[in-house]
Structure 1
Amino acid sequence: MDISLEEIDRSNYEAVCDLDVTKEQEAYVACNMWSLVEAHYNPGHTCKAIYHEKTPVGFFMWVQETATKVSIWRFMVDKHHQNKGIGKTALNLAIDAIKTTVGLKEIEICYNPKNPVAKEFYAGFGFQEVGMDDEGEDMLALIKL
């Protein structure tokens, strides 16, 4: 499967903004357009389009929160491209890219604890739950390096 993470620029940002999840998933995923705006105005944010062959099919955003911790804030695969193994391959690519961060000791992800597939999916990559976030809304999980 030809999956890659690509830069988002003027040639593909509209296609990335047009990606969408299923109705049932909308409560768990932020809008890609909002994420791109957020990343533009805040330092330390990295956005990548998930490509299958030459087509954007998903989106990632991660943030260097401290010198030793990067948090994956956004991760989505378009509803027309789900259940094909794209998400697993893309998350492996993202983790590999994040691991190139000098001095990195932790990769964090958070998810809604009511999301029926998130816990098992992320645990399969080595993320271990560490508790709820400060607002008590999202579960935090870490990979310690």
Structure 2
Amino acid sequence: MIEIKEITEDNYERVIKLEVNDDQKKYVAPNVKSLADCYVYRNNNDVFPFAIYNDEEIIGFIMFYTEDEEKEITIWRIMIDKEYQGMGYGKRALEIALEYINDKTIYEKVYIDYVVGNEIAMRLYERLGFKFDKTNEYNEVVMKYIIER
């Protein structure tokens, strides 16, 4: 069963060891950088990292950035370890993330982005209902998902 769980002192080292395939490294930040970003932005109380589990095995990482006043949340990072790609885990993890976000009734919009050229991410996000919003200054395509209540 796929689920997301908080990053703790018991699992963070396993999360850091997760990697994407070599050809994806230009699109996905290493998890150690993501956890460092969490540390840097810790005083904002708006960055939330999670491990993605398949039963008891950590297979990926996901991180949210929230903007409560705007009722928006961004899936800032998501990755599935190279050993578990192509098995539907990324799609299922995003579905679970959207369920988690939907349960937090404050949010009305969900954003996610990908680096231009990452066609696999684009197709996955589109299949889940994300729509093009804009291209930002970092050469990333930002997509938006509207939560309907």
TM-score after normalising by structure 1: 0.93
Retained in 1: the 8 A contact 2:2–2:52?
Answer: yes
Retained in 1: the 8 A contact 2:68–2:106?
Answer: no
Aligned to 1:121: 124
Aligned to 1:45: 47
What's the offset of the Cα at 1:40?
2.5
What's the offset of the Cα at 1:65?
2.8
Aligned to 2:64: 62
Match for residue 105 of structure 1 among 94, 105, 108: 108
Match for residue 134 of structure 2 among 117, 131, 135: 131
Secondary structure of 1:117's counterpart equals: helix
Secondary structure of 2:111's counterpart equals: strand
Rounded Cα–Cα distance in structure 2 between residues aligned with 1:107 and 1:116: 20
Q: CA RMSD in A?
A: 1.2
Alignment of 1:18-33 (within 5 A): 18-33=17-32
Rounded Cα–Cα distance in structure 2 between residues aligned with 1:44 and 1:25: 27
User: Structure 1 residues 54, 119: closer, same or farther in 2, change over 3 A?
Assistant: same
Q: Which has the higher helix share?
A: 2
Secondary structure of 1:108's counterpart equals: strand
Match for residue 142 of structure 1 among 125, 139, 144: 144
CA deviations 1:12-58 (Å, max 9, x no partner) are 10000000000000000011111112112312011110011111110
Q: Percent identity?
A: 31
Number of residue pairs the alignment of both structures matches = 143
What's the offset of the Cα at 1:136?
5.2
**Code of the aligned partner of 2:14:** A
Secondary structure of 2:142's counterpart equals: strand
Secondary structure of 2:90's counterpart equals: helix
What's the offset of the Cα at 1:82?
0.5
Rounded Cα–Cα distance in structure 2 between residues aligned with 1:129 and 1:66: 22
